Amino acid sequence: MTDYSNYTVSIHYDRRLYRQDIAGSIAHARMLARQGIIPAEDAETIIGGLKAVEGEIESGEFSWDASLEDLHMNIERRLTQLVGPVGGRLHTGRSRNDQIALDLRLYTREVIRDTVRGLRELQLGLVDLAERYAGVLMPGYTHLQRAQPVLFAHHLLAYFQMFRRDVARFRDCYRRADVLPLGSGALAGVPYPTDREFLAKELGFPAITANSMDAVSDRDFLLEYQSAASICMMHLSRLSEEIVIWSSREFGFIRLSDEFTTGSSIMPQKRNPDFAELARGKTGRVYGHLMALLTIMKGLPLTYNRDLQEDKEGFFDTVDTLLATLGVFRGMLAGLTLNEEQVTRLAGESYMLATDLADYLVGRGVPFREAHGIMRRLCDYCETEGRELPELSLEDYRRFSAHFDAGVYEITALAAVTARDNPGGTAPNRVADALGQARQLLEAEGDDL
Ligand code: ARG
């Protein structure tokens, strides 16, 4: 006979929640005794037993049994083996439905802490790198075409802002995860005089859920974590893409440390940016997990449905992927070297200054549209003649507009960035301020949630 029982088993992944499960059970046992629902000595025995179980799990002695399906049953069975039938009192006034909701919320709180810490370390890494190359110019791009010179630090600080918003999203998600669902029972509440406020205090929740039916079937907090994680991975993937492009021979902007590149098995010259590529690739699975959970949830009538057991693997994989990627980026940025000569040279490349030359004409009274047309014709001329703007004589310039004078030669990449001296602009003084503010912000905000 075929054995189908494996289909419902979750122990191989939900065992990850054992610490949260045991912490929740200890608080529950305490509450039951305090409310006179179970005898105080029984609660003592149960708590001692739960701690022993935790010890066994931590030391690896615990034997997980798939025939008991999930972690709750495994832990309860072992507890009862250790302390006898009194262990059976633990599940009074509780259901696995509010129990798993609690475990997941406790776990989510912890991983948000780790995630925010990882993001902040990465932000610090960006600031360090930006400071290491403060003042270095590079070409800024639109349409992946060289557009205008910018400071390398300005480019990096753009990512700082993205990660800052990510931190805010995770913090926001924390607030909604930080609500105690225990005490909701299977769906309708429990027929015992429980004290949910006490439970909340024991487990560090500032609030309790307001509706038992919602509490056992709500997984919004997982969706929020996974949406924030997807957006964050999208940011990391964009940065990965830049790292891949920048480290190519064609660009030659950066060199990654050996630790973050691999050689090819047949092409000895290769330094492949595998870590950045994998980060870009792993973004796909994180999006996938978000889609999966949205899809799992969309057809569920209230309240708990077993479909919800499928919420975990994707979520855990999202957490692992995101935390690992944040760590990799921290290391990758620390070991990254900028080819200053190359980026500076390209930043000063003549077409990059076309906008500034148009602005220069505007400064001499030419309407912008007309100035733009003049520069368009000048650039076309240079392209067909194979010449560069800086080598044109004043006479050459004046053939395109009588408004040109010797001032055109003062327009350099540095002058161009320096002129962009408005809030959010790339002028060196603005970027220096932005760097200072970024550091201050990291210090002021701390890891608090
Ligand atoms: N393993 C289950 C889950 O992860 C726990 C809740 C089970 N509840 C139930 N009524 N079968 O969702």
The CATH number assigned to the domain holding 242 equals 1.20.200.10
At residue 266, does pLDDT exceed 80? no
At residue 350, does pLDDT exceed 80? no
At residue 409, does pLDDT exceed 80? yes
Residues 305-331 have a mean pLDDT of 98
pLDDT the model gives residue 147: 93
Co-location of 66 and 29 in the same domain: yes
At residue 219, does pLDDT exceed 90? yes
At 379 the three-state DSSP class reads helix
Asked whether 308 lines ligand 1 (CB < 6 A), one says: yes
Evaluate whether residue 402 is within a structural domain. yes
Q: How confident is the model at residue 4 (pLDDT cuts 50, 70, 90)?
A: very high
Q: How confident is the model at residue 15 (pLDDT cuts 50, 70, 90)?
A: very high
First-to-final CA distance of the chain: 53
At residue 264, does pLDDT exceed 80? no
Co-location of 369 and 324 in the same domain: no
Helices (H), 299-409: 312-334, 340-347, 354-363, 368-385, 394-398
pLDDT the model gives residue 200: 98
Evaluate whether residue 380 is within a structural domain. yes
| Domain end residue (candidates: 328, 345, 362) | 345
CA 260 to chain centre: 20
| Domain end residue (candidates: 345, 375, 399) | 345
Evaluate whether residue 206 is within a structural domain. no
pLDDT the model gives residue 341: 97
Q: Taking the model in full, what pTM does it have? A: 0.95
pLDDT the model gives residue 351: 81
Which of 309, 310, 315, 316 has most ligand 1 atoms within 8 Å of its beta carbon, as the pocket-test mutant?
309
Co-location of 37 and 103 in the same domain: no
Residues 342-349 have a mean pLDDT of 93
pLDDT the model gives residue 326: 98
Co-location of 265 and 163 in the same domain: yes
pLDDT the model gives residue 332: 97
| Domain count within the chain | 3
Co-location of 136 and 61 in the same domain: no
Q: What is the CATH number of the domain that holds 12?
A: 1.10.275.10
Integer-rounded Cα Rg, in Å, for the chain is 30
At residue 116, does pLDDT exceed 80? yes
Co-location of 234 and 114 in the same domain: yes
Q: How far is the CA of 304 from the centre of ligand 1 (A)?
A: 8
Co-location of 301 and 328 in the same domain: yes
Q: What is the domain range of residue 37?
A: 6-92
Asked whether 309 lines ligand 1 (CB < 6 A), one says: yes
In whole angstroms, what is the distance from residue 47 CA to residue 217 CA? 28
Based on the residue annotation, tell me whether 264 is a catalytic residue of this protein: yes
Co-location of 244 and 322 in the same domain: yes
Using alpha carbons, select from 173, 182, 174, 189 the residue that is nearest to residue 203: 182
pLDDT the model gives residue 269: 75
CB distance 83 to 51 below 8 Å: no
Q: Is the dihedral of CA 245, 251, 253, 254 positive or negative?
A: positive
At residue 267, does pLDDT exceed 80? no
Q: How far is the CA of 194 from the centre of ligand 1 (A)?
A: 22
Residue 207 phi, psi (nearest 5): -150, 165
CB distance 97 to 398 below 8 Å: no
CB distance 104 to 311 below 8 Å: yes
Asked whether 216 lines ligand 1 (CB < 6 A), one says: no
| Domain end residue (candidates: 76, 92, 108) | 92
At residue 199, does pLDDT exceed 80? yes
At residue 354, does pLDDT exceed 80? yes
- Of 5, 248, 257, 264, which one is the catalytic site residue? 264
pLDDT the model gives residue 349: 84
Q: How confident is the model at residue 1 (pLDDT cuts 50, 70, 90)?
A: confident
In whole angstroms, what is the distance from residue 5 CA to residue 69 CA? 9
Q: Note the pLDDT tens digit of each residue in 381-401.
A: 998 999 888 888 999 999 999
Evaluate whether residue 186 is within a structural domain. yes
**Exposed/middle/buried for residue 101 (C-beta within 10 Å: 0-12, 13-18, 19+):** buried
Helices (H), 247-353: 274-298, 312-334, 340-347
% of the chain beyond a pLDDT of 70: 100
Asked whether 101 lines ligand 1 (CB < 6 A), one says: no
Mean confidence (pLDDT) of the chain: 96
In whole angstroms, what is the distance from residue 328 CA to residue 324 CA? 6
Evaluate whether residue 197 is within a structural domain. no
Based on the residue annotation, tell me whether 403 is a catalytic residue of this protein: no
At residue 268, does pLDDT exceed 80? no
pLDDT the model gives residue 389: 84
Q: Which amino acid is at 315?
A: F
Asked whether 75 lines ligand 1 (CB < 6 A), one says: no
Co-location of 152 and 121 in the same domain: yes
pLDDT the model gives residue 189: 98
pLDDT the model gives residue 390: 80
Evaluate whether residue 67 is within a structural domain. yes
Range with the lowest mean pLDDT among 65-74, 189-198, 266-275, 324-333? 266-275
Evaluate whether residue 195 is within a structural domain. no
1-15 residues labelled b (16+ CB within 10 A) or e (exposed): eeeeeeeebbbebbb
Evaluate whether residue 392 is within a structural domain. yes
